[in-house]
Structure 1
Amino acid sequence: MTGKNVLIVYAHQEPKSMNGSLKNIAVDVFSKQGCNVTVSDLYTMKFNAAATRSDITGDLCNPQHFSYSIETKEAFKKGCLSEDILEEQRKVHEADLIIFQFPLYWFSFPAIMKGWIDRVFVQGFAFDFPGCYDTGLLKGKIALLSFTTGGTEDMFSKEGVKGDVKYLLWPIQHGILHFCGFQVLAPQISYAPEYVAEAKRRDMLIKWAQRLENIWEEPPIDCTPSWYFH
């Protein structure tokens, strides 16, 4: 896999956390494969999660009635988005595989990672109409969610108190990643690392490293309602 480009979008405040360890393993495995690995460490970067008018550096199309989606679409065409957005879009454009590494917050991304999505995946760059889902503008790229949970695996089952984890992931895997054209791989879920023995945490890291060795051969999951809800 020499020459493949991997982008890890990473959101955790503590480098010694399980998320930090999972991120480090990915960097190590891919580097040994000869891949080019880039990490967007959102907290260290102090990435701004708020989508505002300041994301457009040129003149607004309609300064009397601001529409973020319209203004960012036009600004993308003109190269007039803020520099931090353009830099992240450059990373995405170059990436063959994007891994989102994060702790699950309230059944979703941490706010800083959701803000990265809001600001980076603008219309015209990540999708357009009718260029979405299988024809999304990021088609040909692979995406993978790797995250930790506070709850145990049985809590995220069909019979569990939190429900089937794949339903929880529907808005992210289908509504964001598939919508933008990504081929989506099965998520890597590290359940309740804070509440298991050290040996179990080591096993989580070993299994992640083993999976990454052959990640390029993995088939994508089916991001359709019939797969999720039947």
Structure 2
Amino acid sequence: MAGRKVLIVYAHQEPKSLNGSLKRVAVEELSKQGCSVTVSDLYAMQFEPRATRNDIVGCLHNPEEFNYGVETWEAYKRGDLSNDLIEEQKKVQEADLMIFQFPLYWFSMPAIMKGWMDRVLVQGFAHDFPKCYDSGLLKNKLALFSFTTGGSREMYAKGGISGDIRYLLWPIQHGIMHFCGVKVLAPHICFAPEYVSEEKRKEMLIAWAQRLKTLWKEEPINCSPEWYFK
């Protein structure tokens, strides 16, 4: 939709990978629709995933005992977060939709992307209890997790050896995005691309492009435990 702003947070080391191609397809298709698309390419940016004292500029609120959550909350209120965090928070603030593109690592997102979540979504900016879940501070935004897996669809089905893929989405979709008030669209999953033909990988890219054409008409999932564990 023309005028909409999209932030793609992308975590893959190789531009020629399927994740790289999925990111490229999203940029092309959404740009065609008149959206303004920004990409945070975390590996290319050499994004720092570690939450440290370096995230606070100037004096600490309590120099006697470092508490990262308290210190970043206080620094956010003072405007004293590090420049890289301020830049990413601006991107989030401006975005109508955030797409997270990554390969599934150990049933979760890569460390560099988890570090982005840890450092960018600080208290005061993304949540501020009791302003969380449906009243989270990012409640007017959408998010979509697009990722690839090493295992097959059957492995991640109910009764499969890896368990229902929805179980794995609970901490990242519900525990992070929904906690911050973000409405979550159904995930886009490319199962086991390394073990299928080149033709099948092309079909995966076409399917993603097709979904993006009507993405703005989609309704968010019902962010409740029932969606994940029913």
Q: TM-score range by the shorter chain?
A: over 0.9
In the alignment, structure 1 residue 183 sits paired with structure 2 residue 183: yes
Residues in 2 aligned to 1:120 and 1:95: alpha-carbon distance in whole angstroms: 14
Shift in Å, 1:165: 0.3
Shift in Å, 1:229: 1.8
In the alignment, structure 1 residue 218 sits paired with structure 2 residue 218: yes
1:123 maps to 123
Residues in 1 aligned to 2:160 and 2:58: alpha-carbon distance in whole angstroms: 50
| TM-score normalised by the chain length of structure 2 | 0.99
Residues in 2 aligned to 1:226 and 1:29: alpha-carbon distance in whole angstroms: 33
* Secondary structure in 1 matching 2:180: coil
Shift in Å, 1:39: 0.2
- Structure 2: gaps (5+ residues): none
In the alignment, structure 1 residue 34 sits paired with structure 2 residue 38: no
1:87 maps to 87
1:7 maps to 7
Residues in 2 aligned to 1:51 and 1:179: alpha-carbon distance in whole angstroms: 20
Contact residue 127 and residue 179 of structure 2 kept, 8 A: yes
1:17 maps to 17
Residues in 1 aligned to 2:116 and 2:196: alpha-carbon distance in whole angstroms: 31
Residues in 2 aligned to 1:162 and 1:205: alpha-carbon distance in whole angstroms: 25
What letter matches 1:88 in structure 2? E
What letter matches 2:61 in structure 1? C
Shift in Å, 1:40: 0.1
| TM-score normalised by the chain length of structure 1 | 0.99
Where has structure 1 moved over 6 Å in runs of 4 or more?
none
1:136 maps to 136
2:44 maps to 44
Within 5 Å, give how 1:88-103 maps onto structure 2: 88-103=88-103
Shift in Å, 1:3: 1.0
Q: CA RMSD in A?
A: 0.6
- What do the CA deviations read for 1:142-171 (whole angstroms, capped 9, x no partner)? 000000000000000011110000011100
In the alignment, structure 1 residue 69 sits paired with structure 2 residue 85: no
Percent sequence identity over aligned pairs: 68
Residues in 2 aligned to 1:33 and 1:163: alpha-carbon distance in whole angstroms: 37
1:173 maps to 173
* Secondary structure in 2 matching 1:44: helix
Number of residue pairs matched?
Answer: 230
Contact residue 166 and residue 229 of structure 2 kept, 8 A: no
